[in-house]
Structure 1
Amino acid sequence: MTQANQQVIAASDLPALGQPLLGGVFAARYWLNGQERALILPSDEFEGVWGEYGVEIAGASSYSDGYANTVAMAEAGCEIAKKALELDAHIPSCLEGQLLMAAKAEGVVAMREERFHWLSTQSSAYHAYGMDFEDGWLTNYVKDLERLVRPVRSRIIQ
């Protein structure tokens, strides 16, 4: 893991949900791998393919850990993963995508609704998950399709 993903923020320094935090909007608090974390949504977005059709990427199938998925994707040569990591961010996992949908539904964050977004969770050698932020649909798509990517940041809360 990089230093950025292990950075700590004091609970007393957290703003209200929907307020600016570390170059984005504070979207949610959640638990991951025994640690409470802050999910932050920067304004960055870009398009790209998830990966190569028929190629399974070891380490990119976590339903909850988008950072670990994104690192595995980048190590396998995935351009959208490399770009997300360069932004000090990662592609959200299925769990993190659902947290973003909940934050959107509560008016905490804004997400584009006219396009499906890639998530970092791989479902097979042929498919990875994507989310529609209009209705919250979570489904899987052929990896070599171009989709929108909206990276997130996650920081440990202490």
Structure 2
Amino acid sequence: MTQANQQVIAATDLPALGQPLLGGIFAARYWLNGQERALILPTDEFEGAWGERGAEIPGANSYSDGYANTVAMAEAGSEIAKKALALDLHIPSCLEGQLLMAAKAEGLVTLRHDRFHWLSTQYSANLAYTMGFEGGWLYNGTGKSLKRLVRPVRSRIIQ
């Protein structure tokens, strides 16, 4: 993992959920790999293809670790993953996408609901997960070569 993904924020420095934090909105607290983390939603948004249809990407199958998925995608040549990492962000995993949906439902964050967004979790060599934020729809049947929106996130360890 890069140094950025391992950066720490003190629990006492956290604002209330829905408030500004590190260039975005503090959307959720969650546990990942034995560490409590802050999920932050910046305003960055772009679109592109997840990857190539028929190309299984080792290491991009985590349902919870979007950062690890995004690194694996970038190493395999994914342009959207490279762009997210260059911004010190990553593409949300299925879990992180669902946390964003919960934050949206609580009125903490604003997410476009007119188009589907890529998640970093790969379903198969041909398909990856997408999320529709209108009603929280999680789909596993989206062809990797299709263009979709990407709303990357930032995650920091809470201590």
In the aligned structure 2, how far is the partner of 1:3 from the partner of 1:115? 32
In the aligned structure 2, how far is the partner of 1:89 from the partner of 1:51? 18
Name the amino acid aligned to 2:156: R
Tell me which residue corresponds to 2:31: 31
Provide structure 1 residue ranges, at least 5 long, that are not aligned to the other structure. Answer: none
Is the partner of 2:112 in helix, strand or coil? coil
Q: Which runs of at least 4 in structure 1 moved beyond 6 Å after TM superposition?
A: none
Tell me which residue corresponds to 1:4: 4
Alignment of 1:1-158 (within 5 A): 1-140=1-140, 141-158=142-159
Q: After superposition, give the CA deviation of every residue in 1:106-145 in whole Å (9 maximum; x if it has no partner).
A: 0000000000000000000000000000010000200000
Question: How far apart are residue 146 of structure 1 and its match?
Answer: 0.3
Name the amino acid aligned to 1:35: Q
Provide structure 2 residue ranges, at least 5 long, that are not aligned to the other structure. Answer: none
In the aligned structure 2, how far is the partner of 1:152 from the partner of 1:10? 19
Q: What count of residue pairs does the alignment treat as equivalent?
A: 158
Q: After superposition, give the CA deviation of every residue in 1:17-55 in whole Å (9 maximum; x if it has no partner).
A: 010000000000000000000000000000000000000
Is the partner of 2:69 in helix, strand or coil? helix
- Using the size of structure 1 for normalisation, the TM-score is 1.00
In the aligned structure 2, how far is the partner of 1:116 from the partner of 1:94? 13
